[in-house]
Structure 1
Amino acid sequence: MTIEFGTPRQDQELISVPALVLKVDAASIRDYLALSEKLPVLMLFVQAGDQASESLQRSVTALVQKAAGSLLALVVDAAASPELAQAFDLNQIPSAYGILKGQPAPLFVGDQAMEQVQLVITKVLDVAKENGLTAKAVVKEDAKEPELSPTVQAAYSAIDSGDYSGAVSLYEKALIENPNDSLAEAGLAQVKLLVRLEGKDLAELAVSVLTDNESKLAKADALVATGMAAAGFTVLLDLFGETPRDAREPIRLRMVELFLVVGNDNPDVVSARKTLSLLLF
């Protein structure tokens, strides 16, 4: 297999990351493990001051940069994150693991020649491609800020002035002008949520025990709006599962809309989307 360089394919999903090689610990690793659902992740356990660790990390860094976003590398200081070392049953430093769709697999232990590391990375990319993990990581600072259309700018102004209904109309107009405007699509989902929740007691809705569909949809809105996205998605998934197939579409559309509000790269969205896919078939 030849590693592809340069610009991504038009149909390739782009994932914004701070860097292609990231130092992580037990707290921050969760932000990136979910990305293994979309592209391969290489996890490298090292130890500060260890010559073999430093040598292998240099090789891995060079090759991951060369792969130009086809995979992501996470570097863990085993001594500083003993809980991660224990979770991976680590018995030698340095050690490398490949993670695909959340499942780790050991790759190699000890320092390796760069040619050998290249062979392993090539194999990981082959397996990832076979499993549909073909997204491309793009470093944030390299990504261009999208230009706002005048209509989207007007929608922002409407939101600032509290005119949510006007903002809905403007976002809908922006999507007619450019159906691929992702900012307008996400903005429309967000402002429609604001319209639905306007004048409601979010705290009361979030803890309410409800039986009818509309009330459950409102509860899910409130949970998402108050930062409890996972709980909100659970309400919708339960409702989707217990609803007859010919009446499920409004629930699915509400979930898709809330995915946009929370952000498609959010781990809660990734998990809920996977569960929804299973329920659809």
Structure 2
Amino acid sequence: MRGAVDLSSLRNRPASPAEQAPTGDIDVVVDATDETFGQILELSRTVPVVVDLWAEWCGPCKQLSPIIEKVTRELGGRVLLAKVDVDANPQLAQSFRAQSIPMVVALIAGQPVPMFTGAVPEQQVREVFEQLLQVAAKNGVTGTLPGATEEAPTEAEPAEPELSPLHAEAFAAIEVGDYAAAIRAYEKILAETPRDADALAGLGQVRLLDRVQGLDLQQARAAAAEAPLDTQAQFNVADLDLAGGHVDDAFGRLLDLFAQLPADQRTPVRERLVEMFGLIGVDDPRVVAARNRLSSLLF
């Protein structure tokens, strides 16, 4: 992990006013940015820092982030959670090499420690946090953030609606990385209820995860550069960009490809763009801009 994550540019540059050591009470859940991450690195010498890399358009992120926040608050200041919006903070996304999200890593005394990628159940989150505290203790990082109090696990929270058998089957398959099985489960749901919004969103996310599984970003970029009109080569890089939060790059690549292809070869590119639009959300300004450009190229 230390070789895969390069935080040297953040660690070595002079601290800005926003990065000075904090004083007074500190919330155990903070939003971290490219400009303020130096402060997070310093705090990791006092307590282990969990870094949650997420994006607004990412469905699994919305499942995982509340669980991580809940577990962090229950630990009463022994862990700090730093939430990083990869769309708004490209330097951090690049430093952590976030090829797919949600991606969760930890920092102990400034050094990265792997945790997990993708949505995982609450019990697994608790187990990984417990292991993190043990590793931190072995490295002498055993502090507590000032002003934090330990919260008891909430007993009276309303139970979440029970998943249907096929939704449960899809979620279980995602947890173990069997994306093909999850795709089949979502397709069964949509065959019975075509307007199931959760299934539509889940199917798009899992198809993306399945496509990027095993892809190497550098190799994919090299192949795309060698064959600028090779649809599959361009798809691979666009998928990796989208999974890593580089939405505009993914859209721009496929729109450029669409513009260069003969009319009889454009349909797969248009269909992939429409699928990506659905993943991000029709109201997202990046989708609106890309749709407008696509329309101008069509007509």
Higher alpha-carbon Rg: 1
Q: What's the TM-score, normalizing by structure 1?
A: 0.45
